[in-house]
Structure 1
Amino acid sequence: MKQAGEAFGVSRETEEKLRAYMALLIRWNARINLVADAEPDSLWRRHVVDSMQLVPLVPDIAGPCVDLGSGAGFPGLVLAAATGCEMHLVESDKRKCAFLQEAARMLALPGVTVHAARIDAVVLPPAMLLTARALAPLPELLRHAHRILAPGGVALFPKGRSVAQELTAAAAGWTMRIERFPSVTEPDSTILRLSEISPVSALA
């Protein structure tokens, strides 16, 4: 299997940062259970590579990025390390927030801000990119996206086998531009790139 740097064109320095991030995660995971499987090989493919595959899908935009339900930092912290973007990580678990703050400090990512708050309560700058991984069904994610994204902003949502059903459910309340990309880590998964998100009621 290719290393993340080889597969997605990141620098050796970035890959070294990601390796250090994984080592930190493994140490912390023994105390606060950040991920279910902390074996190094599994972590690298299931979480780092899975997050890195979003990098080529990030539009060439300047502005804040937001990751909802960041947990251990996937994909938000990985994207921040790979792209250097201004990244806002939203996570309600204060123990996980402590980990995210330490990881951002260790990786020298001054553009990362950790918000220890529930998504509906957090105050964020209008975002040009929104990500969320394994967080909620698509209709709920679209509600957050409509509130958080700036005009012209884009959402990247990895989805599993239920993507067709979720898109059907979302169509009842939302209109959007939909682009689909196959996952390189999960054959049955799809990455949705969504833009021009608007509630159906707004068009009535």
Structure 2
Amino acid sequence: MIGDEAAAKAWLRTLPACDDLAIERLERLVALLREENARQNLVSEASLEQVWQRHIADSAQLLTHVPRETSPWLDLGTGAGFPGLVVATLLPETEVRMIESRARRVDWLERARCDLGLDSAVVIGERLENVPAFTAKVISARAFAPLERLLALSARFSTSDTHWLLPKGRSAVQELRDLRKWRHMFHVEQSLTDPDAGIIVGTLAGRKGTST
């Protein structure tokens, strides 16, 4: 378990994608986040005291569940940039599409993307319902919507081969238990940054009662 800031930075160094340049970019992202948080409430002030554990490592742990070359990566409701900006920073050659509808956060994401030189990342400033469908190889969402609604909104971006990575905090097990309308191969992985949190991981076959 990653229990503090030092442990978070040490763990990040174990990732194949995390070289010296990646660490520099992550440090720059943290600096940009602190600066922007003074202008708009991207994350809680308390969480900034543990930013490497609570936001950077918490996002980066998703990379351990998919092959490194998997692309495009679709991040729903990216908000402050987690996990989308962290994934794009660690995998700069990967096409990461970040969907966010709130104008001020879209502006923040675009400025951060440009500052960090993340040329393969794309910020889509639309409501998810208005985004034209495309096939994503990875779909992530952190605190975006309850699982049933999340799937209803975003299953059109998925095939049976798409990897779903859904940090759900303490509700992970219960949300998966309550999922009735979908054929899936989801399971819950323990979060590395919070002993009480889980990540729903797996693939989706479609709604029950429909063909694949």
- Give the TM-score normalised by structure 2: 0.88
The answer for the alignment partner of 1:175 in structure 2 is 183
Check 1:151–1:175 CA distance in 2 against 1; reply closer, same or farther (3 A cut).
Answer: closer
Take 1:152 and 1:18, find their aligned partners in 2: how far apart are those partners?
30
Matched residue of 1:13: which SS?
A: helix
The answer for the alignment partner of 1:125 in structure 2 is 134
**Pair 1:5-2:12 in alignment:** yes
Paired residue type of 2:151: L
Take 1:135 and 1:8, find their aligned partners in 2: how far apart are those partners?
26
Check 1:174–1:151 CA distance in 2 against 1; reply closer, same or farther (3 A cut).
Answer: closer
Check 1:139–1:194 CA distance in 2 against 1; reply closer, same or farther (3 A cut).
Answer: same
State the number of aligned residues. Answer: 203
Dislocated runs of 4+, deviation >6 Å: none
Paired residue type of 1:122: V
Q: Is the 8 A contact 2:160 2:205 kept in 1?
A: no
What is the CA-CA distance between 1:178 and the residue it aligns to? 1.7
What is the CA-CA distance between 1:125 and the residue it aligns to? 2.7
Match of 1:201 among 197, 209, 212: 209
Match of 1:142 among 140, 151, 160: 151
Take 1:99 and 1:35, find their aligned partners in 2: how far apart are those partners?
13
The answer for the alignment partner of 1:103 in structure 2 is 112
- CA offset digits 1:33-58 (Å, max 9, x no partner): 11112664422211111001111112
Structure with greater strand share of residues: 1
Paired-residue identity, %: 35
Structure 2: tracts of 5 or more residues without a match: 1-5
**Pair 1:162-2:188 in alignment:** no
Q: Is the 8 A contact 1:94 1:116 kept in 2?
A: yes
Moved more, 191-200 or 10-19: 191-200
The answer for the alignment partner of 1:92 in structure 2 is 101
- Give the TM-score normalised by structure 1: 0.92
